[in-house]
Amino acid sequence: MDLGLSEEQELLKGFVRDFLEKECPETRVREMEEDERGYKPEFWRMMAAQGWQGMIIPQQYGGTGMTFTDLIVLLEEFGRALVPGPFISTVVLGAIPILQAGTEEQKQAFLPKIAAGELIMTLALTEPSARWDADGVAMPARAEGDSFVLSGTKLFVPDAHVSDCMLVAARTKESANPEDGITLFLVDSKSAGIQFTALKTIAADKQCEVAFNEVRVPKANVLGEVDKGWPIIRGVKSKAAVAACAYMVGLAQMDFDITLEYAKQRIQFGRPIGSFQAIQHKFADMIIDVDGSRFITYKAAWALQENEPDAEMLVSMAKAWCNEAARRVVAHGQQIHGGIGFTKDYKIELYFRRQKWMELMWGDADYHRELVADKLAI
Amino acid sequence: MDFRFTPEEEAFRQELRSWLRENVPPNWEGVFLEEEVEEWKQGLAFVRKLAEKGWVAPAWPKEYGGMEASPALQLAYNEEMGYQRAPIGSIVQSVGYIGPAILFFGTEEQKRQHLPPVTAGETVWCQGYSEPEAGSDLASLKTRAVKDGDDYVINGDKTWTSNAHRSDWCILLARTDPAAPKHKGISFFLVDMKSPGITVQPVMNMANVHSFNQVFFEDVRVPKSALLGQENQGWYIAAMTLDFERSSLVAMAVSMAKRALDDLVGYCRETRVKGKSLLASPLVRHKLAEMAIEIEVGKYMVYRVVSLQARMEPGSIEAAVCKLYNTELDVRVANTGLEILGLYGQLHKDSKWTQLMGRFQKSYMYAIAMVVGGGSSEIQRNIIAMRGLGLPRG
Ligand SMILES: Cc1cc2nc3c(=O)[nH]c(=O)nc-3n(C[C@H](O)[C@H](O)[C@H](O)COP(=O)(O)OP(=O)(O)OC[C@H]3O[C@@H](n4cnc5c(N)ncnc54)[C@H](O)[C@@H]3O)c2cc1C
């Protein structure tokens, strides 16, 4: 039992941090908020040159075959630097389900391209009902010859507008059990009948409304089996939730670091505000929240990686906790900064807005607590 | 990043678990340290059985009766002992931090004198730190130890001394250099409670139990061999023991909280309201889930401290973070239990109507002692902010 990082992970972490400090400074983060695509292709290629998109892809498909917990170490650093762009969408929402459920042909077709930074992916799951459970997948796909035809609206789809390919969850069968009858399709984002509308969000990240109007998808593009897509989605959701946790851990840690520095510098009443006990105790509480988040996230990630029987429960515990803990941290961060915290020019506000984004993605605390309760009740 | 215990550690855990199931007295309440006379006796008997197995102080060197257990094995031990609510109130202090202090600072003679009796389950120790005027500000303590030939003569009052009335030995902080700055003039003594001049006076606690005491020292003469470490090094030793205390008690507390949760889930499953199990109530589910999550988070805070120990990395504030979080968690856990039990929650264990042996009622009282004892929550936050984060003193 050892909760510390391995030597390789320490190296990775240090390297990623240095790289991002140089290549993804605050100015870049702000620029990408305004940018329509939300990422810079040069930066995407630089990341690919480091092997990051292919990190968890096995070597035979052009990746480096590292582990899920390695990816979590990377994503913690991404959160720290608030890295914008379709990385989680491509790697967690795209590569992971293909690895898990794809045919050899599909793996060959997609994974090497993802690893090379030549393919951007996402998962179109949620709809205007804004639900994460199987009931939320209502958009129909009807079989017609050797194709399926998709019509309906997907909402809150991350990075869809810049994607090359989307994994789309659609209903192919009505049944009493909502988990039965969902199919996953690999859909070329340039297919006729698809329309993207970017959503304006609190974090200025890039989520989209994706309208499908009689979009034709060849049957060969089904991922996994027809009607049996839900278990695949469930696995992706778990990994995406932990990825969001890792991002929040890094984000909260950085908010904490910036705020601590500020409290040591800012003088009021002739002394640094960090000498006031009311402020000091907030810091102690922030440490609890950051550390608490980090280690439950590691545990959930490790449990997924090792296929532990209680992995899903741990994921829900981690996401429920991190959502609220990270929110408490960034709220203290704002309070300790006073007025400057509310200005657009100063960096701390970025963390405040992005925390809310990651809190909502892949299930808020109430949603995950309910899942925990389900499992406790068994 | 590896959360797995080794096969040897797992095997030990299983062995200990089944042994505990057989040897923890039946219907054992086990909420806090066994405090009433009868329970205390049962606890002592249990510790002697534990001693026969060689399981009193796993982390200690073999020559003093320990097992030289790795930090992870010790963790597994603590988790099992906590979950099975093992009655080890008579040794938590000696094993948790007094023995380790003697191991670290003691002479060979002191180690040989004091440690084997602890691992044999024969001696009980108490902690004489707090005084009426020195609580959180422990370094302002007034008890004096004056050198007289080869002896020291001790005068002063200690308070809140848990188990003093049934202890054989006491660790005592006393001032040896009144002229020095307050942290620098304190020494650490190992005092025989049978020494003439010691009077122990009971103090009843909120739960109407005699657990702590006031202890008066009047011209108590102790030999030079009672001094642990160097003269005037006492503050340093005490600070270190408090760190040991924080991490050792907490591992057990987390798994006790887990046990409380499991009991509560069981209660909710059986209890029906309007024809439905309490487990179907959204509010109850919310509370239980939140409790489960917070306990899980506390667990890995403990694991992190243990990981640091195993890597021999000097932790700074991790133990304080862990103590702070987990003792505050226990306050919430107890309250959640009482909320779910409703009117029944208030009942004492002796009532025929009581539920879950009245454990939540008792925890509700004792949990608030734990956010005060061992350095209050406020003091932990001060330590974290100033010692850990380098924030300036106010
Ligand atoms: C169940 C129990 C068992 C105990 N057993 C023992 C024992 O065996 N041996 C022993 O020596 N002692 C024992 N104690 C005593 C314990 O260590 C003290 O109670 C503790 O150190 C607090 O001191 P105090 O009670 O004098 O409170 P005070 O120090 O007077 O504190 C009162 C309040 O003021 C706050 N406060 C004080 N200073 C500060 C500050 N600088 N910043 C912010 N807030 C502050 C505290 O947090 C607390 O909320 C025990 C206590 C309990 C509850």
Instruction: Give nearest CA residue, ligand 1 atom 25.
Output: B135
DSSP result, B200-259? EEEEE-TTS-EEEEEEEEEEEEEEGGGEESSTT-HHHHHHHHHHHHHHHHHHHHHHHHHH
- Residues B334 and B354 placed together within one structural domain of the fold: yes
- Residues B365 and B281 placed together within one structural domain of the fold: yes
- How many A/B residue pairs have CB atoms within 8 Å? 149
- Residues B243 and B379 placed together within one structural domain of the fold: yes
Interface mutation target, options A67, A69, A288, chain B, most CBs of B under 10 Å:
A288
| Rounded CA separation A316/A198 (Å) | 29
Annotation marks residue B109 as catalytic: no
| Rounded CA separation A103/A97 (Å) | 11
Specify the CATH number of the domain A7-119.
Answer: 1.10.540.10
Residue A244 to residues A189, A240, B7: CA-CA distances in angstroms?
24, 6, 33
Give every residue of chain A whose pLDDT is below 70, as ranges.
none
Q: Is the pLDDT of residue B315 over 80?
A: no
Assign a CATH topology to domain A231-375: Butyryl-CoA Dehydrogenase, subunit A; domain 3 (1.20.140)
Give the minimum alpha-carbon distance from A346 to chain B in angstroms, rounded to a whole number. 22
CATH architecture of A122-228: Beta Barrel (2.40)
Give the number of other Cβ atoms within 10 Å of residue A31's Cβ: 12
- Residues B164 and B254 placed together within one structural domain of the fold: no
Residue range(s) in chain A whose domain bears CATH number 1.20.140.10: 231-375
Tell which one of B136, B171, B173, B186 to mutate to probe ligand 1, the residue whose CB is within 8 A of the most ligand atoms: B136
ipTM at complex level: 0.94
CB contact under 8 A, B1 and A302: yes
Predicted confidence at residue A314, as pLDDT, reads 98
Q: Is the CB of B176 under 6 A from ligand 1?
A: no
- Residues B95 and B219 placed together within one structural domain of the fold: no
* Helical packing angle, B282-310 and A311-337, nearest 10°: 80
- Residue A320 CA, chain-centre distance (Å), reads 15
| Rounded CA separation B160/B46 (Å) | 26
Q: Is B21 on the interface with A (CB under 8 A)?
A: no
* Parent domain of B75: 7-123
- Residues B243 and B144 placed together within one structural domain of the fold: no
**How many percent of chain B have pLDDT more than 70?**
99
Mean pLDDT of B79-87: 96
**pLDDT averaged over every residue in chain B:** 95
Query: Using a CB-CB distance cutoff of 8 angstroms, which residues of chain A are in contact with residue B298?
Result: 292
Predicted confidence at residue B247, as pLDDT, reads 67
| A262-301 residues touching B, CB cutoff 8 A | 263-264, 271-272, 274-277, 279-281, 283-285, 287-288, 291-292, 295-296, 298-299, 301
A241 sits in which H/E element: helix A230-265
Predicted confidence at residue A95, as pLDDT, reads 98
Atom from ligand 1 closest to the CA of residue B378: 47
Strand blocks (E) in chain B:
125-128, 144-148, 151-162, 169-175, 186-192, 198-204, 210-223, 227-228, 272-273, 276-277
Residue ending a domain, among B65, B91, B123, is B123
Angle (nearest 5°) at CA A154 between A118 and A104: 40
Q: Is the pLDDT of residue B67 over 70?
A: yes
Question: In terms of pLDDT, which residue wins out, B240 or A33?
Answer: A33
Q: Is the pLDDT of residue B271 over 80?
A: yes
| Rounded CA separation A67/B101 (Å) | 42
Locus of tokens 């002191």: B110
The CATH number linked to B297 is 1.20.140.10
Query: Using a CB-CB distance cutoff of 8 angstroms, which residues of chain B are in contact with residue A288?
Result: 321, 324-325
Q: What is the pLDDT of residues A160-201, one digit of tens each?
A: 999 999 999 999 999 999 999 999 999 999 999 999 999 999
Smallest CA-to-CA distance from A302 within A72, A92, A55 is with: A72
Q: Is the pLDDT of residue B248 over 70?
A: no
Predicted confidence at residue B140, as pLDDT, reads 97
Question: In terms of pLDDT, which residue wins out, B312 or A225?
Answer: A225
